[in-house]
Amino acid sequence: MVNKSILVLFVVTLLASAGCAIVHTTPLAARKGDTVMVSVGSPDDMTRSNTSLTYTPSGGSAIAIPNSAIRAIFNLYPDKNSDVWLYSAAGLIENESGHGPWNTVLVFDVPGGPGDTSGVVLPEGPGNLQINTTATYDGTIPGVNGRDIALEILPGTGASSSFNYLGFGGVELTGDLSRLEPMKKLQFKPVWTGRDSTNTYGAVEIKIGLDSSGIAKGDFNVVVDDKIGPLQQTRRVHSIWNKTRFELTVYFISPVGNLQYSDVNFSVISKELQTQFENGTQNVATDITINSVTWYDVNGAVDSSGPPITLVNQTGT
């Protein structure tokens, strides 16, 4: 059943990445304890902490599913060599949201299975799953709130999928879906105000003040949000970055002068930096600063029309 579920999930993801909004469970029917996957479209920053589940049996009242039943919420992207990435309407997601063409997948275990101590048991028979989240669905991207998602509860008791896989040397290992979830991060981007392909730039330089002393080289990551549009021949946007002990400099460049403001979307991720935020060694509000943002036109002249860059604090502090 798990292999079939994964196959259906990827078919659903293919369609959703092509610009469609699909809300669908895999499988369509499950026993107590079984693992269920739901494709929920393309929200911005949907997490376990801002999402809740309920189940309403046919003709009955809503039953809250404990948050502990959610295994993971993560984003799937199409392969960059695929027809979806190169030739489909997946770029419409970017035009409506300002973020990459991902499809968000929620994985949860039906309550009442082996080892579940929540005491919640869903009655057998047809019903609907409801997902409520404060995550943002921008533009015309349909949200998941208020939707009834058909899910039938079957007789019997199943078991949570461990998503086992073969590691190096043929050793069977247990999968951990939570490792697919976005890590805590410092995200930098302009405020999304809708698509703007009229006001374009040649480059932008962002200087960020932060103390990276004590952070190993392999534990400091600048991650740019992957998008289809910026990589096209008519735009050719690329990014580079450089770090000193007290400052990070990030550049976005379009040699053809077709950099759009929403192309600038990147995150700083560091486990040690996150630890410093949590133990009080550093404070996001006072120790992370945007020192300067300089936009340029295609000829290298400063363009003062460029928007400011904002820090979206997603470190949990």
- Full DSSP string of 201-217: BSEEEEEEE---TT--G
Q: Which pLDDT value is given to residue 22?
A: 53
pTM for the predicted model, two decimal places: 0.88
Beta sheet of 247-253, edge-to-edge order: 238-243, 247-253, 203-209, 289-296
Task: Round to whole Å and give the CA distance between 169 and 208.
Answer: 44
Instruction: Summarize the confidence of residues 269-287 as an average pLDDT.
Output: 93
pLDDT > 70 in the chain, percent: 92
Q: Residue 290 is encoded by which pair of tokens?
A: 């945007």
165 phi and psi angles, rounded to 5 deg:
-145, 165
Q: What is the pLDDT of residues 172-211, one digit of tens each?
A: 888 899 999 999 999 999 998 888 888 999 999 999 999 9
pLDDT > 90 in the chain, percent: 68
Residue 29 near residue 151, CB atoms below 8 Å: yes
Residue 267 near residue 188, CB atoms below 8 Å: yes
- Domain positions in the chain are 2-179, 185-314
Checking DSSP bridges between strand 103-109 and strand 172-173, what pairing results, if any? unpaired
Say if residue 5's pLDDT is above 80: no
Q: Which pLDDT value is given to residue 87?
A: 87
Q: Which pLDDT value is given to residue 24?
A: 65
